[in-house]
Structure formats: structure tokens, C-alpha cells
Structure 1
């Protein structure tokens, strides 16, 4: 949501257009009815970008009845693509952009456009006062419990497991439930997924047990305070206990906030995710169990704020180690050294954004490039 909005700010600038405050998706898995102003500080957003892009809260009445171009802009479009799209203004005064995610290229854009994306995302797109206030309170409560805490984005949620087809460690009934959900979700195009191949390729979220083993191998003691930044964990305590048995000092927003404080956020997954986002940004260490949209956005924001420590698990290599342990070919006491060696360069230190695997060209390469929002270096981060 955040990165898509930042992209549309930049696209509006390129096309010399007025941006209408976007309507948010209410038909996703989470069925969240939140509006833009429920999640973000609308006035601050408009004011912060007034020198870059004209933004209005709603479409002017005199334009409401006019025909509009409903456009699915291509994924990872560059400057030339959007300059060509300005021909739409010859026939229409309104362009309705049906999708906003990954609409803009990661690389090869003018420096002022790249910096505008960062200005939109890291300065203009502030959460609503109620979300900001509670988010800061929860951070303070975490700090009162321990000097340092890890924010763990444990993406072991029903929608992610169903979408990726990852069933390792689940019961037959749980696996079938996820398969049925995938079959019934029409906009998920891939239905038949081999869970073993997915896991071996490093495409599955780490399980709670695997996360626990991973953190222990990195040297974190059992007393480490860990905040779970996630929605409802699939299987509840039956799976989460595999993590809490190793790290009992685990908390969630439901444990930190009072029922009264959370009442206004109930049934609004985007707003509770915003709380997780704030707590993750402010954490001493951020660990995502899967490289999804939120994990990438948080990592990029933490880089922008001074390369705050983010540990991105090498899931493909870790799975090989875990399988060796399960087969009795590797002792857990011997796990620390290979895990530390694998992650020596995966702690969020300064580095230029990756341009994609060598030898791959065309649109496939654009898809495989590292996200601008995951690592906005060098355009938005001073070298000094």
C-alpha cells in the first residue's frame, strides 16, 4: 500500500497530473474497510508534497460524470513509458489506475523522481495520529521491558502459507485447508504447487521452530525480548509454542496494548499492520521470516534511517542445514558457525541496490531486480 502510493506520486509528477487521494483495496483476503485517512495523515501527505505534485482529496464534482480511461499501467514502467501514456490526456481528463503495486521501474529513472519517491514514502506518508500515538506507546512499553528488542515479522499466516503452497510441519488437515483456500481464491493464478520444491528453493516462510533455531544459532539468548509483528499465526499456539519454547520472552500487540486501546483497530488489518510497521522500524533488530512486501518496505525504511540492523535469513541455505539436522547428520551445537558464515553480509549494512541476476534480460530481469523500496541506496541515502 505504502510503496504503491509512493509510485503513484512519482507517476503523477512524470505525467504532469493531479493525484486524487487513492481509494484502498477492500476486497483482499483481510476484508479491511479502512480509508486512506483511517491509516494515513491525509493533510500532512498533501501539504508535504505540494511543491512536487498537486494532490486533492476527491475528484472535483464537474469531472465526476466524465468518461475516464481505466488503465492497468505496465509493471516496472520507465520514464519513456509514462511519457507515452500522456497521450491519454488527448481523449480523457481522468485516468483511473486500477493497480498501483510495482508500477514504476526500480532503476534508470531520473534522480529527482527517485528522490521524490523517498520523499513521499519516508516523509509525506505518515500514519494517522491515532496510529502514530499508539505505536509510540507500544515501543515505549517494549523499551521498559528490555533495553533492546527484536521485531520478528513472522509471516506464518494462513494467506501466505496458502499462496506459497508451503505445508512443511503442518498436519494433513491443515495442508488440505490451505489447498482448498488456494483453489477458491480466483486471483491466485497458480493452483498446483509442490511444497517440497518450494521449500528447497527457499520460497517458503521459515516456520516458528526454524526461526527459533536460527536466532539461537546467531547467539541470541533465551531471555531476548521478541516482538511478533504479524497477524494471526496459523495454527495458533500449537505452532508458535515451537518458538516460545526456545524464546519465552515473546510479546505481541495484544499483550502490550489494552483491549480499550485496540478496540478501534479491531477488524482493520491494515491499521494493526501499521502498528507492526512502526514497532518494526523502531526495533533494535528486524528479522523477516519471508521476503514479502512489508518485509522489503521495512528493510528499506530502516536503511534510509541509517542502516539499522536487519537480518535477512538465507532461507534456501538454512533449509539444507535444518534437513541435515533432522536426518541426524548435523548436531545443533555445530549449527552456529555455518549460520554465522552464511549471514555475515546479511545484517543490513550499506550496499548498492542489486540490479538483477547476470545473463537475464527483458521484463524477467526487471521483475528480478532488487526493489527500490527495499534498498533506496544510493539515490536517497547520503554517502557520508
Structure 2
């Protein structure tokens, strides 16, 4: 499928949308009016055909009852089985690595269940990192041992158990061939991932087939990658075949000359809003094109749709084979030397422009950012009336390398510990990294880990490079983002889902005032205070309960994980 570099809401962005006519079959099967007694259904069969289909439906229903039997003896039991890492572990210590997966992953029902060889097992489809290292040795302080110690996890393990009603409706939805949803995803890798997750959920809500999402050309990095360049498209289709029908392109029966693109989607939309807004159009035209989905779908959905989000994020969105291969190779090179910390260091030029913050590198560099911001004021995101100091103490600025270094030392990170830096090239180059390199000399990047030519195929492919960072970061013993964002949230949830790997979320609002007290606080007291401030993120998993703003992808407990 072709990609557009210039997309406007009044024009189609796709080369494949160039000869569209409504299918005669769709005209027969659909009436423009919805059945008022069934507001949640997108399908509106023409009454003239209703009796024609009744016999077929009843006959198929009888076969369905027999064919689509839940694969578990007790479909409501959240049982678990252990899936160990494919990589060797050092010992059976409490720090050794195990992943717990529920056999109830195989819960959605469809005709594909009869073709076992083509159905991926969810218990084996999650991206599995290298095992956490076992930390031992009497020469290590208690603070350093505590730094490497993995969270307890409180017994929570992956548990995607779909309701029986969801599974029964899957038989029909997974065969949909009349209504199609096309989604245009924008932004960087993890922003695109979020939109793809929501695209699958919206397709399920509308009972429509999903066309493999189109990735809009990134305006900042100029990345022209398509879906199959970054993700394993066949794995994506197979993993979701019991939930939503996924196709590579629109069928010829659904192509029309001009197709409007829906971009005016408010924030926090519910399934009811989606049905009431798009069902009629989808039934009449057979195709719906959505753009600008980023963070628009409500974070609070029915339980089965929350589970579907986790299924897409942690199972279906597996990286393409070339990315997975080089990512695993570099992760092993990092891992083999011992435990390591991965930091998503947000020091890129565009980050400083968008956040309205100072770089900490001096007036020369700050002037460059100020000029960029003045030239492109639309890049500055949110809270325009705040000063730099107000932004910083509100936690809206990325931590610079010096602040990251101080926090790591205060939390007990050993100076000889290995540190992996994920993210784009920092503004200011080596000067920006100098404070961190001084305190943690064993600092590595993917370019330093790679050997001659190994990354050549990914030049000018920022999403692929970000995917490599993701793979290496997932295998780290400790992960910390320097600034909130899609990568940090994705890593937080993914690390919880695959075994509760330690994730440090800097509490910038609480900790930055202490950074200003250079001489009034001893190092010991500063460290004690930092560990106290971050005690929640260093301990047991945080639940999404009672916090409507939390995304299940970042907080998979308890919707996607259970402790029974």
C-alpha cells in the first residue's frame, strides 16, 4: 500500500483510493438507516433480504455452538503456567527470571481455532527479554544490592481471559468483509504503536475489518517506513484473527475516487460515541478513514476491550524480523557483561524546542533552541504562559545528563555499572553527555554496540532505530526515562507484563527542589530522600484502579494481569 507524504483532510492520502465505487453487494446488504432497537450494532441488513438469511443464520448458529467451544474447561478460571526465558539463567535465586503466562490467552473463538497450525499461541507470542541477572557478592553495599533487586510483583501474572459474550461475537466479527476501517498513524514509533492499538479496538467496536494501518511520513525525522518495515505484519494478522479481521489492503469493491478523512475526533471518546458517530457512514460507504487518533480513545473501556489493548501491544505488535534480529544481537552484547541500566535520555533538539525548557548547556545552545522555537512557535506544546522555572518545577522538562547522574547515584547505582542510552542523538553531542559519562564511564549506545555495517540498513529509519532501542531497553535490569512520553509508558507496562522488571519513574516535581540544595544536604541524606521519594516505583506494581487517566498499556494490573 502506498504512503502519502502530504495528507489533508479533504483529500485521500492513499494511492489505492483512486477509483472508489460503492459495492452493489453493499448497497443490497445495507440500509442507510440504523435499526433504532439495536443502537450498538453497525450492521443494518436490508429487510428484503432478512428472511433470506434467517435459515442460513440459524443453521450456522447450530454449527457454531458445536464448533466454537471454549478451549478451557473452566473459561472463568485465571490459571497460570510458567514460560521460562529462552536464554540461560544463572541460578534459582529470587532474582532469577521467569515469565508467567496464562493458558487462557487462547480464549477468543473463530474459525481459525480449527486451524491450530496457523494460530499463534499467545503464551509464546509476547516479546521475551533476556533474564534479569542474579546479584550476589559481599563487597556490595545494601544500597547497590537494593538498586539491582527486582520488584516482587505481588503475584500478578499475564491473564487475558475474554468474556464468553466477547468470544461468541468474535466468530462473526473475524469474518467481516463488508465494512473496512483505514487508520493513518502519525508520530514516532511509540506514538504510532498507541494509535495502532486503538485502531484495532475501534475496528472491534465498529465490527469492521481493519486495513493494515498506514504510517504517515514523519515530519521531524523524514522516516518513510511502512507498517511491514517496522512490524511483522503476518504475525499481527494471525495474533488478532480471532478478534478482528485484518487485511493488507482494501478490496477493489470498496475503492472510490475520493474518500473523506475523519480528523475531528474529540478526546476521551467512548465506544458509544464511536458507534453513534461512525456506524451510519460505515454502513452506507463501506469504508471509514480515520486520522489523528493519538490519545483520543478513552482510557476507560469495558474489560474485554482493555484486554484487547494489551493483546495488541504486548503480543500482536512484534517487530519485523530484521529489527528483531539486530535488536536481540545488540541486547546480548550488552547483557553478557553483567547487569545494566537502560535510560531513555530525551535530549534531542526537537524535545527542547517542544518543551520550552533550557538545555543546561549554556547560553550558546539555549539561543539556538530559542531561535528554533521563535521560528516554529507551533512546536511548543502546552502551557504557553509558563516561565522556564515554572515548567521545570512542574515536572515538564526533561532531566539533563547531570540530573540523571545525580539521581542514579542517589538511588544506589554503582559507578562501574553499565548504562545503555536509548534515544536520538543528543543536542550538543558529547558535551550533553559529559556529566553522565564522568560518573558512569561504562556508557553505551546502539552505535557503540554495533559492528561495521550492522546498522547500515536502518540509516534514515528513525522508527527502526527506536525499535532497536526498545528491544535492548526491555532486556535491561533497570529502566528509567528522563522525561515522560510514549516510550516510557510503553516500557513501564511491558516490563510489568513480562516479569515485573524494575522501572524507575523520576518524580520530578518532588525531587527537583532538593537538587537546588547543594550545600545544605549531605550526599547520604540526599540519597535517603531520593529513595524515599521513589519508593513506590521501586516496589510492587502500581494498579490502574481508581485513576481514570492511567493507560492500561502502562498499567496492565489488574485488567490484563491477575494474582489468583
Tell me the TM-score normalized by structure 1. 0.91
Shift of 1:207: 0.7
> Any conservation in 2 of the 1:309–1:349 contact (CA below 8 Å)?
no
| Residue in structure 2 matching 1:79, options 271, 277, 280 | 271
Take 2:529 and 2:502, find their aligned partners in 1: how far apart are those partners?
20
How many positions carry a matched residue from both structures? 369
> For residue 431 of structure 2, what is the aligned residue in structure 1?
238
> For residue 306 of structure 1, what is the aligned residue in structure 2?
499
CA gap 1:276/1:260 in 2 versus in 1, 3 angstroms: same
1:260 aligns with 2:469: no
> For residue 119 of structure 2, what is the aligned residue in structure 1?
none
Take 1:280 and 1:106, find their aligned partners in 2: how far apart are those partners?
25
- Mapping for residues 221-236 of structure 1, pairs under 5 Å: 221-236=414-429
CA gap 1:152/1:37 in 2 versus in 1, 3 angstroms: same
Take 1:379 and 1:175, find their aligned partners in 2: how far apart are those partners?
44
Any idea what the Cα deviations from partners look like across 1:169-201, whole Å, max 9, x if unmatched? Answer: 132222222123233446536566521111111
1:166 aligns with 2:346: no
- Mapping for residues 11-50 of structure 1, pairs under 5 Å: 11-50=202-241
CA gap 1:57/1:348 in 2 versus in 1, 3 angstroms: farther
CA gap 1:197/1:214 in 2 versus in 1, 3 angstroms: same
- Partner of 2:214, secondary structure, is coil
> For residue 379 of structure 1, what is the aligned residue in structure 2?
559
Question: Which stretch has the larger CA shift, 153-162 or 191-200?
Answer: 191-200
Take 2:196 and 2:233, find their aligned partners in 1: how far apart are those partners?
12
CA gap 1:46/1:30 in 2 versus in 1, 3 angstroms: same
Take 2:497 and 2:228, find their aligned partners in 1: how far apart are those partners?
25
> Any conservation in 2 of the 1:308–1:348 contact (CA below 8 Å)?
no
> For residue 144 of structure 1, what is the aligned residue in structure 2?
336
1:61 aligns with 2:252: yes
> For residue 359 of structure 1, what is the aligned residue in structure 2?
none
1:324 aligns with 2:517: yes
CA gap 1:171/1:282 in 2 versus in 1, 3 angstroms: same
> Any conservation in 2 of the 1:165–1:193 contact (CA below 8 Å)?
no
Shift of 1:330: 2.4
Take 1:348 and 1:152, find their aligned partners in 2: how far apart are those partners?
19
CA gap 1:189/1:199 in 2 versus in 1, 3 angstroms: closer
Consecutive unaligned residues of structure 2, counting only runs of 5 or more, are: 1-191
- Partner of 1:260, secondary structure, is coil
> Any conservation in 2 of the 1:303–1:348 contact (CA below 8 Å)?
no
> Any conservation in 1 of the 2:356–2:380 contact (CA below 8 Å)?
no
Take 1:225 and 1:134, find their aligned partners in 2: how far apart are those partners?
20
> For residue 536 of structure 2, what is the aligned residue in structure 1?
345
Q: What is the RMSD computed on CA atoms of the aligned residues?
A: 1.7
Take 2:502 and 2:380, find their aligned partners in 1: how far apart are those partners?
35
Question: Which stretch has the larger CA shift, 333-342 or 263-272?
Answer: 333-342
> For residue 309 of structure 2, what is the aligned residue in structure 1?
117
Take 2:348 and 2:494, find their aligned partners in 1: how far apart are those partners?
23
> For residue 118 of structure 2, what is the aligned residue in structure 1?
none
Shift of 1:335: 1.1
Take 1:293 and 1:266, find their aligned partners in 2: how far apart are those partners?
22
| Residue in structure 2 matching 1:131, options 315, 320, 323 | 323
> Any conservation in 2 of the 1:168–1:195 contact (CA below 8 Å)?
no
Tell me the TM-score normalized by structure 2. 0.63
Question: Which stretch has the larger CA shift, 163-172 or 187-196?
Answer: 187-196
Question: Which stretch has the larger CA shift, 84-93 or 43-52?
Answer: 84-93
> For residue 101 of structure 1, what is the aligned residue in structure 2?
294
Question: Which stretch has the larger CA shift, 19-28 or 152-161?
Answer: 19-28
- Partner of 1:259, secondary structure, is coil
Take 1:176 and 1:354, find their aligned partners in 2: how far apart are those partners?
44
> For residue 60 of structure 2, what is the aligned residue in structure 1?
none
Shift of 1:306: 2.4
Any idea what the Cα deviations from partners look like across 1:255-299, whole Å, max 9, x if unmatched? Answer: 101231100011111000000111111111111111111111111
